[in-house]
């Protein structure tokens, strides 16, 4: 077996239809700190590293299938440290009229699923338990409904 080891997920790159529209969403709606925007790219960071999200404008029309196909399903962003903080995020998303697909209690995390302007699914979550540190199988718990109203 080789010695290579992934240290962490460094960044995600998305091709987008409109850099201004999608970039403004990640900066103004989700609160990502914009590091640089110089057409055709925009880079964003939470402060953990130089950039965690990079957008590249390619134009066109975003295409998504109603049926799951192989490929990227969603990107998860930790946005809170408690259920109460996530409830405040939920309220803010509703006020900003962001399309909310649903909410889920995953045991160790509580999650809100939304769409960005190009229809990419995002999971905004709060870590609500550190049980996974003692029992890694805890991340496979059966998902339950979550009420954030």
The answer for 71, left when phi > 0, alpha when psi is -120 to 50, beta otherwise, is left
Position 67 scores a pLDDT of 81
Position 120 scores a pLDDT of 94
Position 50 scores a pLDDT of 94
What pLDDT, in 10s, does the model give residues 26-72?
A: 999 999 999 999 999 999 999 999 999 999 999 999 888 888 888 88
Position 13 scores a pLDDT of 96
- Give all strands (DSSP E) within 39-105, no chain letters: 41-45, 53-57, 75-80, 100-105
Could you tell me the domains of the chain? 1-60 (3.10.180.10), 74-144 (3.10.180.10)
Q: How far apart are CA 84 and CA 69, in angstroms?
A: 34
Position 72 scores a pLDDT of 87
Any idea what DSSP says for residue 137? G
Closest CA to 102 of 51, 71, 147: 147
């Amino acid at each position: 077996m080789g010695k290579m080891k992934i240290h962490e997920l460094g960044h995600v790159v998305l091709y987008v239809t409109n850099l201004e529209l999608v970039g403004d969403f990640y900066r103004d709606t989700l609160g990502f700190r914009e590091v640089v925007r110089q057409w055709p790219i925009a880079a964003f960071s939470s402060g953990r590293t130089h950039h965690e999200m990079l957008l590249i404008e390619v134009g066109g029309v975003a295409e998504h299938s109603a049926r799951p196909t192989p490929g990227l399903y969603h990107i998860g962003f930790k946005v809170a440290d408690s259920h109460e903080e996530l409830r405040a995020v939920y309220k803010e998303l509703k006020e900003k009229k962001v399309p909310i697909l649903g909410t889920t209690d995953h045991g160790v995390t509580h999650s809100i699923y939304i769409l960005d302007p190009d229809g990419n699914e995002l999971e905004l979550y709060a870590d609500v338990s550190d049980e996974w540190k003692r029992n890694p199988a805890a991340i496979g718990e059966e998902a339950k409904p979550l009420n954030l109203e």
